[in-house]
Amino acid sequence: MNFGEKNNENQLLKAARQCSMEQRHEAVLTKLEKIQELDQLSPVDQCEFFILKSKALNKLNQYLEALDLAEKALTLAIKGNSTLMLVESLTAKGTAEFRLGKNDECFESIQQIKKVILSDIESTQQERDLLYNHFYYLSSLYHYQHLHKDKLLESNQKRLEICEKYGLKYELGEVYHNLGVAYYLKGELLKSIRYYKKSIEHSKLTKNFNQLAYCLGNTGKIYSTLGELDIALDYYQQSLDILKEIKNEYLLGAFSNAIGEIYMQKGNLPKSMDYFQHGYKLVKKLGNNLNIAGAYFKIVENFTLQKDYEAAEMYFKELEQIAKTDDNRRVKLIYDFAHALFLKSKGGSRNIVRAGDILRNLMKIEDLQNDPPLHLKYCELLFEELAKSNEEYILDEIKILLEKLESIANSCNSQELKAEIKLLQAKFDLITFNFDRAQKNFIMGQRIARKYDLVRLERKISHEYDKFLQYYDKWTDFQNHQSEISDRLKFASIDDILQLTLKTKEIDSFENSIETSKLLEIVSDNDDSNLKFYSTIDDAKEINLDIHSIREKFESNSVDRIKFDNNTVIMNRLGTETIYYVLEGNTYEAQQNLQRFSQDIVLLQELLKSKGLPFSIKKVIEIVKDSDNLIKQKEFSQEILEKNDLITAPHRFNILYCLYDYGRMNWTDLKNKVQLTSGNLDYHLSVLQKKGWIIKDEEYQDRFLQFVDISEYGREEFAKYTEKISLMCQQVSFQTSN
């Protein structure tokens, strides 16, 4: 090779390095393939060649070849005694080991990187920071695999500081994504969505389609957790479209399985199986036994739910063969869990006992002591045993297990699990005739679900709470006659609650549960005289609330609803007044409507006050002659405000008002102006952005800053709305003066 050819090879290597920085992995391979005379390169250049190719192959899911090249690079790096080459080759090696399920080897690579960095005394601060960037990257993979939530968050926060400090813009999308993962694992879903969406925006900007697909899929996972299954499917489908185009079979397999999980939640087991089978074929092709074992587990679980035990057994035996030949500890644990599931599904007292023994032994293992699915499966098994035997001693074991599950939910900070366990505890309380505690658990579960926007779950808990109030006499009858436990279990619908918690069917939509308004009564706390506004229901005038006793029940029992004859009473505070709303039917929908009604009154009061106009609740409500329509929002738009939940939610109104008045604002300044928590601001901004009312962008000013502005469409619509409010203020002012 002459000098000109050698110089050309170096130029190709330099071009490949630039492509690697820009996350264009296929382009890296294309550049490197043009290098014909590898042995003519210097040892340092050869080492970089192997590192660049290994990194690209890792991103393109060709892990065995990536591992081989990383080991060649490591050999050269050791000979050359280059700190940077040592760290980069160990990072490439550890990444391949992680993807191949070699977790012990991956951990050893992480330790070696740390040792190399600590022994380096010649590097500048910037060089050391960039070396630690590799360390935090590989540590993140390991901590994620082992669900070390706090360590995962810490690693990525430190990596974020490095990326922002040195302008590593092509890595920021990945770091934002990993922060989203960390907050998801910690149960902080709104924060998680915030970082996922930052990663999506950044990945689009840098054209990192692999990262974009990954983030879209994980955003789908959050919406699945929130019970928004159709939205989740939409995000997953966007991800699959990109993954097919870039031929990322690793993520295609993972997200195919995730879609299978959603269809299993929706109760569509055949369609779920189609996705599981597709995911299985892809992960099997890649040769990672851990992922293959996981795919087999989902297929076995699906076939047992379909009661196709012959097909389940066939795949279980395939899983058994992998467990016998692979010494990976996690593969063995997946096999044991599947074994217990398979035995339980076959039925029979002997199989149930064996399944219980397996699950109990698994729960003794240190890193499975806080595993929710494992404990929930054992809980399900205990309930089945209780239904067959009616042995009261099993109740004591279930009680201890539910307390353990509550502790697990608190330790992993899973708000969804917390709410579901409260629902399960409420049902257990009914079975054991502890009705007061059951009511408190219903309320606590519903409050958790409402606070964290778990809408479907909140609706489910509210529905179960209503059923308890509706059939309270039946439960007291069970108690008086000391009925069989199996009868109580059946009446409590324990099977349905466990299916919800175990994610094997979609939460019911309750479309047939209709709210029927009976009476709206507003009571002044400063005056015993009541302001009553009756609906058009003929028998509404026959409903007379004993306000003092009703108020006492609400306050002394800390409840959110009370049974009143054949009706339900719910309450809401409104300044110095209290609203009592009497209805029959769907309490969940009634609570939503009552809350919106209260928000509208508060908003109107604030607007009138800002204009120096008088305010009277009675006069405002009298404008609407039909209180049933007022609560249910029929014709409300013509009478008071245009009924647009996007604007009439006070927080969103304040956000739009600030942006309309001040223009484009820094995210932090906006947060301080509207006095919201970070999570709440992100939630409301995401709603407004999705509807096209606002736009978000970023600027780099020593670090990335997020800015928010009202869109042209939002500005026009907000102006129309405020004009209507102005007319309404004039109307209320006129009514009050008269």
Q: Return the pLDDT at 465.
A: 92
The number of folded domains in the chain is 4
CA–CA distances in Å: residue 646 to residues 310, 394, 717, 725: 52, 50, 11, 15
> Looking at the predicted structure, is the pLDDT value of residue 4 above 50?
no
Average pLDDT taken over every residue of the chain: 80
Are 659 and 694 a contacting pair, CB within 8 Å? yes
Residue 61 shares a structural domain with residue 98: yes
Q: Which comes out higher in pLDDT, residue 729 or 276?
A: 276
For the segment 476-492, the average pLDDT, to the nearest whole number, is 91
For the segment 94-110, the average pLDDT, to the nearest whole number, is 85
Element (H, E) at 414: none
For the segment 651-655, the average pLDDT, to the nearest whole number, is 82
Residue 582 shares a structural domain with residue 527: yes
DSSP letters, 285-312, are HHT-HHHHHHHHHHHHHHHHHTT-HHHH
> Looking at the predicted structure, is the pLDDT value of residue 70 above 70?
yes
Q: Return the pLDDT at 457.
A: 83
Residue 29 shares a structural domain with residue 115: yes
Q: Return the pLDDT at 737.
A: 52
> Looking at the predicted structure, is the pLDDT value of residue 538 above 80?
no
Q: Which residues pair with 60 in a beta bridge?
A: none
% of the chain residues with pLDDT over 90: 12
Q: Phi, psi at residue 42, to the nearest 5°? A: -65, 160
For the segment 303-324, the average pLDDT, to the nearest whole number, is 90
Lowest-pLDDT choice from 132-141, 518-527, 651-660, 727-736 = 727-736
Q: Which of 49-53, 114-118, 719-723 has the highest mean pLDDT?
A: 114-118
Flag whether 691 is in a domain.
Answer: yes
Distance of alpha carbon 574 from alpha carbon 225, whole angstroms: 33
Q: Return the pLDDT at 734.
A: 52
Using 50, 70 and 90 to split pLDDT, how confident is the model at 731? low
Q: Which residues pair with 708 in a beta bridge?
A: 665, 696
Q: Where are the alpha helices (DSSP H) in 513-641?
A: 547-557, 587-610, 617-622, 627-632, 636-639
Residue 556 shares a structural domain with residue 497: no
Flag whether 68 is in a domain.
Answer: yes
Residue 15 shares a structural domain with residue 112: yes
Q: Return the pLDDT at 352.
A: 85
Q: Residue 73's closest CA among 56, 92, 58?
A: 92
Q: Which residues pair with 699 in a beta bridge?
A: 705
Flag whether 571 is in a domain.
Answer: yes
Identify the burial level of 653 via C-beta atoms within 10 angstroms of its C-beta, where 0-12 means exposed, 13-18 middle and 19 or more buried.
Answer: buried
Buried b (16+ CB within 10 A) or exposed e, 416-447: bbbbbbbbbbbbbbbbbeebeebbbbbbbbbe
Residue 608 shares a structural domain with residue 651: no
Using 50, 70 and 90 to split pLDDT, how confident is the model at 476? very high
Q: Residue 17's closest CA among 60, 38, 47, 61?
A: 47
CA–CA distances in Å: residue 263 to residues 258, 373, 499, 645: 9, 18, 14, 30
Are 85 and 47 a contacting pair, CB within 8 Å? yes
Pick the last residue of a domain from 567, 594, 629.
Answer: 629
Flag whether 465 is in a domain.
Answer: yes
Residue 408 shares a structural domain with residue 545: no
Flag whether 290 is in a domain.
Answer: no
Q: Residue 618's closest CA among 704, 546, 523?
A: 523
> Looking at the predicted structure, is the pLDDT value of residue 640 above 50?
no
Flag whether 390 is in a domain.
Answer: yes
Flag whether 24 is in a domain.
Answer: yes
Q: Return the pLDDT at 367.
A: 67
Q: Write out pLDDT tens, residues 280-312.
A: 888 888 777 888 888 899 899 888 888 898 999
Residue 433 shares a structural domain with residue 495: yes
pTM over 0.85: no
Q: Write out pLDDT tens, residues 597-610.
A: 776 677 667 666 66
Using 50, 70 and 90 to split pLDDT, how confident is the model at 711? confident
Q: Which of 13-27, 103-117, 360-374, 511-525 has the highest mean pLDDT?
A: 103-117
Distance of alpha carbon 471 from alpha carbon 491, whole angstroms: 10
Pick the last residue of a domain from 473, 501, 529.
Answer: 501
Residue 621 shares a structural domain with residue 658: no
Lowest-pLDDT choice from 78-87, 639-648, 656-665, 666-675 = 639-648
Q: Return the pLDDT at 635.
A: 40
Residue 28 shares a structural domain with residue 138: yes
Are 609 and 615 a contacting pair, CB within 8 Å? yes
Radius of gyration over every alpha carbon of the chain, rounded to an integer in angstroms = 30
* CATH code, 655: 1.10.10.10
Residue 654 shares a structural domain with residue 610: no
> Looking at the predicted structure, is the pLDDT value of residue 509 above 60?
no
Q: Return the pLDDT at 536.
A: 45
Residue 11 shares a structural domain with residue 131: yes
Q: Write out pLDDT tens, residues 237-296.
A: 899 898 888 887 877 888 888 899 888 877 788 899 999 999 888 888 877 788 888 889
Q: Tokens representing 526? A: 């400063």
Pick the last residue of a domain from 477, 501, 525.
Answer: 501
Q: Return the pLDDT at 479.
A: 93
Flag whether 380 is in a domain.
Answer: yes
Q: Write out pLDDT tens, residues 681-696.
A: 877 887 788 778 888 7
Q: Return the pLDDT at 55.
A: 80
Lowest-pLDDT choice from 225-239, 428-442, 479-493 = 225-239
Q: Return the pLDDT at 2.
A: 41
Q: Return the pLDDT at 176.
A: 92
Q: Tokens representing 429? A: 């309380």
* CATH code, 37: 1.25.40.10
Domain that holds residue 115: 1-146
Query: If DSSP codes are grouped into helix, strand and coil, which group holds residue 708?
Result: strand
Q: Which comes out higher in pLDDT, residue 651 or 140?
A: 140
Q: How far apart are the two ends of the chain, measured CA to CA in Å? A: 100
Are 237 and 244 a contacting pair, CB within 8 Å? no
Lowest-pLDDT choice from 332-341, 381-390, 570-579 = 570-579
Q: Return the pLDDT at 488.
A: 92
Distance of alpha carbon 511 from alpha carbon 497, whole angstroms: 19
For the segment 654-674, the average pLDDT, to the nearest whole number, is 84
Q: Write out pLDDT tens, residues 539-556.
A: 555 677 777 888 888 887
* CATH code, 584: 3.30.450
